[in-house]
Structures are given as structure tokens and as C-alpha cells.
Structure 1
Amino acid sequence: MKTQNLKQLFKASALALIISSSMSAFANPTDQVIAIVGKSAILKSDLDQGVAEAQHQIQAQKKEVPPRNVLEAQILNQLIIHHAQLEQVKRYAIQADEKSLNEAVLKVANQSGSKSLEAFQQKLDSVSPGTYENLRARIADDLLIQRLRQQQVMSRIKISDQDVDNFLKSPEGQAAVGGQVHVLHMRVSGSASAEELNKTAAEIKTALQNSNDVKALEKKFSTASIKVDGADMGTRSLSDIPDELAARVSVINPGQTTELITVKDGVHVLKLLERKTNDKKALVPQYNTRHILIKTSEVVTPENAKQIIDSIYNRIQSGGDFATLASTYSNDPGSARDGGSLGWVAPGMMVPEFDKTMQNATVGKVSQPFETQFGWHILQVTDTRQQDMTAEYQKRMARQILGERQFEAELDSWLRELRTSTYVEIKGITPP
């Protein structure tokens, strides 16, 4: 891809540049359309803003800025791909929920020193009215594109059971999912820009090559706007480390550090000191559960459903047979045929209200009626056990590692195909 050399540049735009671009500082009454992408247009002001951001970041990295025409061609190609993805977002009707969007905007707000969305909005709009909404729209677009990529790219990644088995039999697989690791963990967070946080994290990564003194590194790299937290995590199972971090640690050798890992709470770097075999089993509690469900419908109001489930509960309390009543009245056909039995259920398999009631139930006792999104339930836990899920955990971990390996390559391939298949008409600039 021609824009590969700018790929990393666009992954972590500095906060100041994101905000400035949201102000549409380059827009003017005589703005020119320079490209048509599907049903959307790229304006000259979009290109000028993208070039300004790129120049600023390249200069900040003390690198030579390419000639204007080369930079324009590369930025235009980035904008075309961006718009092509947004066209796909519309095609597949992908939407960002308010909670995720608010969390993403709040993260940017915190980086700028604002503790709430309200304070952030006031801060931005005091500089230029409408800046907050423009920034929010830009972040929303980024979230939608992330979801599109997950949806489209993950569907292209094919990992067979044989692939998983082969990986688990390999030395790397044995170490990744069946071992213990001794890890040093550094996290960089704070109110500084994303660019500054990544720069500091990169410096820490380099320092870790010659030092294991996490407290000294904490002190050296922490500033008023950058918080560095270091910890010797000791020797622990990979299953005890968050998946996003464990997957990165599993593919490096002792003495090596991971690449920078950017997640919600900051930028992480880990150094692997030692790897050991692990005999620890992944034991998961399970509950042998049966239930009766009464759904609401056009003819059964929520009040009627509650009355029916109360009646069934009272009959069971008076000696009625749970299995017989489930087979007769339950609106869950899959379990009703088997006397309401759901078999062995692990935490997290059911909706939260059901899950909480199940885990708090006394074995053999029928629960009070409770409501979920599906209707009104009563349940009974007839037995509990600790199930060895080690094999299932190992396979899940293996799939994650194999999938992460393939994702970037599949993403590049998908983007090239998308660029080729998207209608693009370029006006007034040499095509990239």
C-alpha cells in the first residue's frame, strides 16, 4: 500500500491536532471538491488539514517532511480509504452506542485535563463554537470504522480446529497457553497527548532492554502530565493476565519486551523475564439449573406474566412437580421438553439477572420469581461443581493468538480490495 509509511502516523493523532481539525480551520466559503468517493465528497479543506497534521507530526519526530505533492498524494489516499470505509459503515448500518461514544470522548477529555464531558464541551466551544460536536462526530466515525473492521476482517480469518491443535502442540503454543511467566509491567497514562504518551512509552521500552528496576523507571519518566506505573508482576499463569496483554507476552522470548499496547487505561509495555511450565488448572464453577419462563406477548401483558409465574411458584411451594409444570407452562421450548433443564451452566452464559439469581441460589430451593429481558422466570439449582476448563481455555487462547497474527495482514488486504472496488473520481490533484 502506498501509504504504508504514514500508517503509524495516523493511528495516534495528537490531541491538539484532533481538536484543531475539528474546528474546520481550513474551511472557507469557496471550498473545492477534490475527490468523489462513492456518494461522499472530499474537500480541499480536508486535504489541507490532513497535510497540516502530517507535517506537524513528522516535524515533531524530527524527520524530513516529504515534498508537498508527495504528502498530498499520500494524505489524499488516506482520506479516500477513510471515506470508503464510512461508505461501508452506511451500507451495513453499523451504529455506535452512546455509552461507547461517551467513554471514548471522555478519554480524550481526560487527556486534555477535563474531568467531565460537560467541562470538555465548555472548554472547546469557548475557543470556537461547535468544536465539541465536530470532535465528537470524528470520534464516532473512528468507532464505527473500528467496528466495521472487526466485522469484515474477522470474518475473513479462518482458524480451523486443526490449526488450533497444531499450535497447542508446538513449543510456542505450549509456552503460550500452558505456562507461567515472570513479567515486568509498565503503564503510561495521564493528561498528556496521545503522541506524548506513546513517545514516553517507547522510551521506557528502550530503557527496559538494559534495566529491570521498574521503580527507577517510574521516577525517571513520570512528569506533571505523564504518570508511569511500574510493577514486577512476579510469576503467574498467563490466564491470570488480561487477554490483551497475555496474547502479546505469549509470543516473545525471555529478555524481550512487547510492542506498545494501547488500551483504555493507557499505553502498556511488558518485559518477559522468565517462562515456566504450569500445572495449574482452570477450574470454573458450574450450576445444574432448570427454569420456567413465562414470556410477555400481544396477549400476555407483563402483569399477566407476573401473575402466571407467581401462580406456578405457589404451586411448586405447595408440592407441585417442577418438571411437570415446566413441561406444561414454560415458554422456553428447548428446556420445557426436558422438564425445564438447562444442564450445567457456567457464570456469564446467561443474561445478568438470571446469572446473579443462579449464583446466589441455594441448592434445591426454588427462586423467587424474577424478570429478565425475556420475561418472568423461576429457577432451581439442583447441584453445583467445579469443572476443569483448562482445555477449553487453552483453545480459546490459541484462537486469539492466531487471530491476532492474521488480523493486520487481512486488514491490509481488505483495505486494498476496498480501495479498488470503491468508485473514486479525483479532481484537481495528481492521483496517488
Structure 2
Amino acid sequence: MKTFILSLAAAAALFAASASAQDLQPLDRIAAVVDEDVILASELERAVANIRGQYATRQDQLPPQDILERQVLERLITLRLQTATAQRTGVRVSDQDVDQAIAAIAQQNNFTIDQLRRQLAGDGMSFDDFRDSLRDELLIQRMRQRFAQTRISVSDAEVEAALSAQATGAQYRLAHILVALPEGATPEQIQTGQQKIDGIKSLLDRNEMEFSAAAVRYSDSPNALEGGDLGWRRADEIPAAFATAVTDLQPGQIIGPIRGPSGFQLLQLVDRRDAAQSSGAGSVTEFQARHILLRAQPGDDAAAKARADSLRARIVGGADFAELARENSDDASTKASGGDLGWFTQDQFGPDFGSQVAAIGDGDVSQPFRTQAGWHIVQRQATRQTAGNADNRRAQVREAIGQRKLEDEWDRYVRELRGEAYVSVRVGPNRDPEIGG
């Protein structure tokens, strides 16, 4: 949960400029048209300024202004497309959800809400912009959860193969550079991409640029501005096209270019370590929680949802969760104990239930959510790390494979959104020629 909240805070800080088109000022120019929405030049300027603030001591790692603006504008475009899709498909984030996320961010940083406001103001960010950006990030997180539940599955055979591949226990920190190709790329587009990736590789081979700096300047990946960093991964979490070669690399060495489904890639092994070196290696996250289950009768799903909404409102208003569970829950195995589920791993009660528990903080009460069993309300009470046994290792590996699949499928899905959208860029050298600007 801490990682999730901090990532929300970082994303909100980066895209605090992404305001509603309703805030359009009379003299504000349009930077891009995205379907029926617009991104303002002032939004782009603030987002670029936020990036420059993050790189205040590393300005030499940033690309030239026009390239930086193009990268940031592309991020704003894909962000706008994702939030619009989430809203169109029924994903909702309430004011109370945003308030809870802000409270969690403040708590994680040992701030009061007022201190967080002052911190944001000191960083040149309004609290309203922060709220709007946080709402967008929560929307996208929820859409990703729904996407994972409907499109991602992991077979037992995949888990067994991954467990076998973990015999060495090695972990690898990786970074990559992507030169993206569109779906159904023409021979000319493929040739241009090949020339670009070969040129980047030549710069790196001649030691004229650090890999991270080249990623910031040239990569088309969403993590370009983070130097292409992919973090620490086990062998089973590395794409198959790279996995075998990575195990033979020394830190600093580079693989590629390799043509993949997204385009041409270069991959660098930044560092390697034994699993025992990593903090928490072999440990598993467990949650303690209690829940209320309301089974929906055929044709009465809306009524069950309404009951769940009413019970949650009473809990938020101060009613005792355990007492309401004893009076209302349809889970016979936990009803007498006030809905107590004890300690459990994320996938123990299924991915739908586990993702909801993982997405809230200790002490928080979830929004009502639906599983095959019915409508649930969950209160997460505590979190702990425990030594992993065989079952826990399997659950961990299954989650890792699912996460890797989700990353790949989600990136592909976002590219599809981008390819199908109407986007007209009105600024910079890549602006639409018929529009000018």
C-alpha cells in the first residue's frame, strides 16, 4: 500500500498541470486536441516545469526543450485518454475516495493535511490541482484493476516453470530504451525505427552518453523520464526475448537492439544480486481484515448494492463494523466473529477480493465491491511480512507473472487507445501542418 500511495503522489506531482478544459483562460493556447477534450499550453508548461524541478540537480540529463515538451505532451495525451476511457466505462472515484488517498499520503509522509498543503504550495502546486491529478490516478488504477480481472490469467504450468527458473535466486535490475513502432508498421516506418535504435546503440557503444541519459532523451517508453528504469526483477519476470541473455551479462552491459511487439528495444543490466541480499527476500505480505458479505439474489443485484452502500455509510459515520457484520453479513463462517477473516495473503480469497484489500490502507474501509459471492465491504486492520512457505512462494510467483502480463497487456492497450483516438498536436515541430498554432 505504501508503494501504491507514494506512486500516486509522484504521479500527481508530475501531472499536477493536467487541469480540466473548463479552466480555459481567454488567452490560453491549445497544445493538443484529444478526441473531444483539449490540453492547454499552460498545462504543458506547468508539467514541463514540474519535470525540470525534479531534475533540478541533474539538468544535463534532460533532453532539449522541444524534445522534453514532446515527451511530456505525449504523457498528458495518454493520461487524458485513460481517464476519459475510465469514466466512459463506468469507473468512478468519489470525493471521499480522494480524501482518503490524500489522508494516506499525508500519513505516509508524517504530515497533517495542512502541512501537506504547505508542502505542495512550496513546490508551486495548488491543492486543487493535486486533488484533480490524484483523482485521475485513482481512476486509472481502478481501470487497471478491472482490466487485470477480465484479461489476465496465470496457469499452474506457468507457475511451475517460473519456480524452476528461480533455482539460482538471482535478481536483476534493468533499464530499457524503446523505439516504438505503430501497429501494422510500414516498411518505411520499420526502417526509420531501425536506424534510430542503431544510432542510439552507436552512441552508447562509443561511451558518448550514459544509458539513463539516452533513455530520457530518446526512448518512447512511458518510463523514459525515469531513465528507462525497470527496477529489480527475477528471471521469471524478464520478457522471454531477454531472459536467457540477461543471466550472462555483467552490470553495465547492453543487449540489443531486439525487435519486439512494441518496437525496437535496448536493455541494460544495471546491477544483479542474490535474492538473499534484497530486503524482505523470501517474505510474503499478509493482511488482517474483516468483511461484510451481502449475497445478491437473482434480479436483486441493485438492492444488494444499495444495502452495501447504506452499511458503509453507517460505518463511516461511526457505527461498529463488527456489530454490523454480526447483524447483516451473509458469510456464515465469519458472521459470529464480526466478519473476522484473520491473516491471509492477497490471492487467498481470489484476485478480485485481494486487489480490493491491497488497494486500501490499514484502518480503511473499502467501497462496496462485487465478486462472484456477492457484494463485500472490507475493513483492513493490519499488514505484516511473514516468512514464505511453499504455498506462499507459489502465490508470490503467480502474482509476479500476473503483474508482468498486466504491464505488457496494459501498455499494448494504451497504445491501442492512442492509435484509435483523434489527436491533433498544435505546438512544437510535430504540430499538425493544417492547423499551425
**Same fold by TM (over 0.5)?**
no
Q: TM-score, normalised by structure 1?
A: 0.44
Q: TM-score, normalised by structure 2?
A: 0.43
